[in-house]
């Protein structure tokens, strides 16, 4: 059996779980950036990475317990199924020579590390199932990460580090390069990697073992707003806080038990909490804290540029010359760095001109850091926005029919502005003939080619907001008209009786209308002339109820001559279907029964005609239709039957539902086959479950002994108990036989007296 947790540990767990997470303290020697260390690792072997921490450096006093509830380690280049476990050891100033595994304070559970981390380090946070309590009086600890090996796995993992550091790193076992370990440990310098800076942290909470209350507060450079917390708040009647910040005016004090305070400037502040306990006694906490305000990352305006090629979303013309001056805005003593949308470093300053690597819109994060503390920073973002070129797909050559054979024809260009702009907002179009003269828009319906049999016009689309322009050339040719085949009516199912269907199958329209012709283009229009996509979306949705005509145009791509026909769309109303009632029957053995389906079809379709009903089981196996009047389930106790009804004249239109076959269990009675009773006893009382609908205890002569769930059994002989139960509106019956035997007391025949 698992032993119960000690009362003290239960209290600490409650304290931790009720404490706001921003009040955590993280033991760390690392800077903000995580990098590869190239420290040696080994396959299929256990090794240990570790860091030392002096608790007082992190505000943890000699009378404080430090309750560690999570650890962080950064890894890189992991293979299949390495594991990690955190261990906390007490150490002294003689470490590593004085290190002993007997000084283990506690360890976490073992978890798998990510097995697919490649060249970019990943920080892994392990939340401890059971917090590790570093006892008061502990001055230094070692935070060790055991890199373990799962069964039959390579389990390679490399430790990652950071760019700057103020302590040493150690690794024991799996030593490379001939280094001589001290007590199993090798310093980063001994290993030939003096800037290893292992990224190993531990996070937890302070709990004073001598004071009735402990003060915690958020301590982040990212803001001057601090949150203050006291433990053991149930014993606090009132508290007066003084924040040592006169410049904050009336906000310099607070009577809230868990207050916040936004300090007026960076610096050192003396905090006091004057606590009145429930018993009337006073307790005062004094604390000096540091408040650091990061530099300001002033907003940066988004920058935009036209894309290089239509649809690429990439531009190599972004002007970044003003970015740094915007974000710094005159501040000094700061360092500006840039990161792409994946968090990877970009050059600083940014190249000018700059080329985006993420199409259309790329977010760039600008970090402004204190040059003396790179972890104290502010960030802002701006976007490099690629202005798209107007959409101008390659246009097929235009063709006209030469009716008189002179090599000249009138081309109707009036659709070009609509077709080429294609609804794009703020786009203007210009057309130029082969002599580079602008073609007036009012003459587009009758443009005559300038050269016999062929010509061209140039098209320029310009976005009036961005000045981005796309160009293309349209060749003009003269040929005959194509042939057009007649199209059959398309039918589709209307599933809500609104005359609209989204199920028109247009997949064969183009092949039908072309009828084997090649070199042709098929386009589609509403009757009012509005162009539709080509090919038509499949499935297609009509926008005129019940019946709609689509104009289908076949255009010879070598001539632009075209001929049109009509495609008729007609909707069919979907059958109405009703959800049938579930069917119930009494168990005839092992969860199987016969169900009455006589009224099923009427429930499903009512008086509708011209419909076909299909039934399916859970394996999509079709059952007989109609179902047998007495249908036996094929799945015990409960089975779902799926129903599909179709319009017999057009199976495209169908509706579906389902119902359940549910087998009611028979009543049960816990009776023995035979009961014995002494003749001296007048009767025996038997009872069964009282939750059934009716009971009938019948003696062998037909006498009804009882109609209750209990019966007084008197006469010797055979009995039958019949139990019924009403469930799901049906009555299920079960009978149980037993007999009663009366035994006769032995008689004393004689008594023989001794001499």
Q: What is the pLDDT of residues 394-410, one digit of tens each?
A: 888 887 777 676 888 88
Identify the band that residue 390 occupies on the pLDDT scale cut at 50, 70 and 90: very high
- Co-location of 126 and 258 in the same domain: no
- Co-location of 190 and 50 in the same domain: yes
**Tens digit of pLDDT for each residue in 239-248?**
999 999 999 9
Task: Give the per-residue pLDDT at 178.
Answer: 47
Q: Could you tell me if 81 and 150 are in contact, meaning their C-beta atoms sit under 8 angstroms apart?
A: yes
- Co-location of 236 and 379 in the same domain: no
- Co-location of 697 and 596 in the same domain: no
The number of beta carbons lying within 10 Å of the beta carbon of residue 558 is 18
- Residue 521's Cβ-count burial label (10 Å; 0-12, 13-18, 19+) is middle
Q: What CATH number should be reported for the domain holding residue 644?
A: 2.60.40
Q: Could you tell me if 645 and 614 are in contact, meaning their C-beta atoms sit under 8 angstroms apart?
A: yes
113 is in which domain, residue-wise? 7-206
Q: Could you tell me if 457 and 441 are in contact, meaning their C-beta atoms sit under 8 angstroms apart?
A: no
- Co-location of 165 and 27 in the same domain: yes
The domain boundary residue, chosen from 361, 387, 413:
387
Q: Does residue 392 lie within any of the structural domains?
A: no
- Co-location of 458 and 509 in the same domain: no
Interior angle at CA 25, CA 133 and CA 238, nearest 5: 90
Q: Does residue 536 lie within any of the structural domains?
A: yes
- Output the average pLDDT for the chain: 87
- Co-location of 505 and 634 in the same domain: no
- Co-location of 557 and 608 in the same domain: no
Residues paired with 52 in a beta bridge:
142
Q: Does residue 2 lie within any of the structural domains?
A: no
What residue spans of 470-597 are helical by DSSP H? 509-514
- Residue 247's Cβ-count burial label (10 Å; 0-12, 13-18, 19+) is exposed
What residue spans of 289-397 are helical by DSSP H? 323-328
Round to whole Å and give the CA distance between 270 and 317: 53
**Tens digit of pLDDT for each residue in 605-646?**
998 888 999 999 999 999 999 999 999 999 999 999 999 998
| Residues near 622 by beta carbon (within 8 Å), at least 6 away in sequence | 614, 615, 616
Cis peptide before 539 (omega within 30 of 0): yes
Round to whole Å and give the CA distance between 694 and 401: 94
Q: Could you tell me if 403 and 413 are in contact, meaning their C-beta atoms sit under 8 angstroms apart?
A: no
> Is a pLDDT exceeding 70 seen at residue 755?
no
Q: Does residue 578 lie within any of the structural domains?
A: no
- Co-location of 198 and 51 in the same domain: yes
Q: Average the pLDDT over each of 60-64, 606-610, 648-652 and give the range with the smallest value.
A: 648-652
Round to whole Å and give the CA distance between 524 and 511: 14
**Tens digit of pLDDT for each residue in 1-50?**
333 333 333 333 333 333 333 357 889 888 777 777 767 777 788 888 89
Q: What CATH number should be reported for the domain holding residue 683?
A: 2.60.40.1220
Round to whole Å and give the CA distance between 390 and 310: 8
Q: Does residue 754 lie within any of the structural domains?
A: no
Q: Does residue 752 lie within any of the structural domains?
A: no
SS3 percent helix, strand, coil of the chain, rounded to 5, is 10, 45, 50
The domain boundary residue, chosen from 271, 291, 311:
291
Size (the chain), residues: 755
- Co-location of 116 and 19 in the same domain: yes
> Is a pLDDT exceeding 50 seen at residue 680?
yes
Beta-sheet pairing, 674-678 with 730-743: parallel
| Residues near 91 by beta carbon (within 8 Å), at least 6 away in sequence | 52, 98, 99, 103, 140, 141, 142
Task: Give the per-residue pLDDT at 6.
Answer: 34
Round to whole Å and give the CA distance between 363 and 380: 10
> Is a pLDDT exceeding 50 seen at residue 507?
yes
Q: Does residue 755 lie within any of the structural domains?
A: no
- Co-location of 49 and 160 in the same domain: yes
Local structure of 15: helix, strand or coil: helix
The H-or-E segment that residue 268 falls in is: strand 267-277
The domain boundary residue, chosen from 363, 387, 411:
387
> Is a pLDDT exceeding 80 seen at residue 555?
yes
For 639, list phi and psi in degrees, rounded to 5: -140, 135
Interior angle at CA 267, CA 266 and CA 273, nearest 5: 110
Q: Does residue 340 lie within any of the structural domains?
A: yes
Instruction: Give the dihedral of Cα atoms 725, 728, 730, 734; nearest 10 deg.
Output: -30
Local structure of 694: helix, strand or coil: strand
- Indicate the number of domains in the chain: 7
In the sheet that 562-573 helps form, which strands lie side by side, from edge to edge? Answer: 490-494, 562-573, 547-556, 520-526, 531-532
- Co-location of 498 and 467 in the same domain: no
């Amino acid at each position: 059996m698992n032993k119960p947790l000690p009362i003290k540990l239960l209290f600490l767990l409650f304290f931790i779980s009720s404490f706001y997470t921003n009040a955590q303290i993280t033991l760390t020697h690392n800077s903000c950036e995580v990098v590869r260390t190239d420290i040696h690792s080994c396959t299929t072997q256990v090794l240990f990475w570790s860091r030392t921490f002096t608790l007082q450096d992190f505000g943890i006093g000699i009378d404080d317990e430090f309750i560690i509830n999570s650890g962080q380690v950064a890894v890189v280049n992991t293979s299949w199924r390495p594991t990690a476990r955190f261990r906390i050891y007490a150490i002294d100033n003689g470490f590593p020579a004085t290190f002993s595994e007997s000084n283990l304070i506690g360890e976490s559970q073992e978890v798998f590390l990510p097995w697919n981390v490649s060249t970019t380090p990943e920080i892994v946070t392990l939340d401890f199932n059971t917090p590790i309590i570093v006892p008061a009086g502990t001055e230094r600890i070692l935070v060790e990460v055991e890199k373990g090996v799962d069964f039959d796995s390579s389990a390679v993992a490399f430790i990652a580090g950071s760019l700057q550091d103020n302590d040493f790193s150690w690794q024991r076992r799996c030593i490379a390069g001939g280094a001589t370990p001290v007590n199993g440990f090798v310093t980063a310098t001994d290993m030939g990697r003096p800037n290893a800076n292992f990224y190993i942290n531990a996070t937890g909470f302070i709990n004073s073992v001598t004071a009735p209350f402990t003060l915690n507060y958020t301590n982040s450079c990212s803001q001057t707003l601090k949150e203050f917390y006291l433990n053991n708040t149930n014993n606090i009647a009132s508290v007066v806080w003084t924040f040592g910040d006169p410049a904050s005016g009336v906000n310099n004090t607070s009577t809230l038990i868990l207050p916040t305070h936004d300090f007026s400037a960076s610096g050192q502040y003396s905090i006091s909490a004057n606590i009145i306990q429930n018993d009337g006694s006073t307790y005062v906490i004094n604390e000096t804290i540091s408040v650091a305000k990061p530099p300001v990352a002033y907003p940066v305006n988004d920058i935009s540029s036209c894309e290089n090629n239509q649809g690429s979303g990439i531009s190599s013309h972004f002007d970044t010359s003003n970015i740094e001056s915007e974000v710094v805005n005159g501040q000094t003593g700061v360092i500006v760095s840039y990161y792409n949308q994946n968090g990877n470093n970009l050059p600083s300053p940014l190249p000018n001109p700059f080329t985006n690597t993420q199409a259309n819109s790329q977010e760039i994060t600008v970090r402004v850091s204190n040059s003396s503390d790179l972890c104290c920073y502010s960030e802002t973002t701006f976007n490099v926005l690629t202005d798209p070129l107007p959409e101008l797909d390659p246009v097929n050559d235009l063709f006209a029919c030469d009716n008189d054979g002179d090599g000249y024809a009138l081309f109707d260009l009036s659709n070009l502005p609509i077709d080429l702009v294609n609804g794009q907002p703020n786009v203007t179009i210009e057309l130029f003939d082969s002599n580079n003269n602008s073609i007036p828009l009012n003459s587009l319906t009758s443009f005559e080619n300038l050269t016999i049999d062929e010509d061209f016009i140039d098209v320029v689309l310009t976005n009036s907001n961005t000045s981005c322009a796309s160009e293309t050339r349209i060749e003009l040719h003269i040929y005959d008209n194509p042939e057009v085949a007649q199209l059959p009516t398309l039918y589709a199912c209307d599933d809500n009786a609104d005359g609209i269907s989204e199920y028109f199958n247009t997949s064969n329209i183009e092949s039908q209308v072309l009828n084997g012709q090649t070199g042709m283009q098929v386009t589609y229009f509403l009757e009012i002339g509005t162009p539709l996509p080509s090919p038509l979306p499949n499935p297609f949705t009509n926008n005129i109820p019940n019946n709609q005509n689509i104009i289908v145009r076949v255009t010879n791509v070598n001539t632009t001559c075209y001929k049109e026909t009509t495609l008729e769309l007609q909707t069919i109303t979907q059958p109405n279907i009703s959800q049938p009632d579930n069917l119930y029957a009494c168990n005839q053995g092992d969860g199987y029964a016969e169900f009455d389906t006589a009224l099923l079809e009427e429930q499903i379709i009512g008086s509708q005609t011209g419909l076909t009903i299909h039934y399916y089981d859970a394996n999509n196996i079709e059952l007989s239709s109609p179902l047998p009047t007495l249908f036996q389930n094929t799945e015990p106790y409960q089975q779902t039957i799926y129903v599909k009804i179709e319009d017999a004249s057009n199976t495209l239109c169908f509706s579906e539902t389902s119902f359940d076959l549910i087998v009611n269990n028979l009543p049960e009675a816990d009776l023995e086959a035979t009961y014995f009773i002494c003749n001296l006893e007048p009767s025996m009382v038997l009872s069964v479950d009282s939750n059934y609908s009716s009971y009938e205890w019948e003696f062998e002569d037909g006498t009804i002994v009882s109609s209750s769930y209990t019966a007084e059994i008197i006469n010797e002989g055979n009995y039958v108990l019949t139990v019924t139960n009403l469930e799901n509106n049906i009555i299920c019956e079960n009978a149980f036989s037993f007999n009663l035997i009366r035994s006769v007391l032995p008689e004393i025949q004689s008594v023989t007296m001794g001499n």
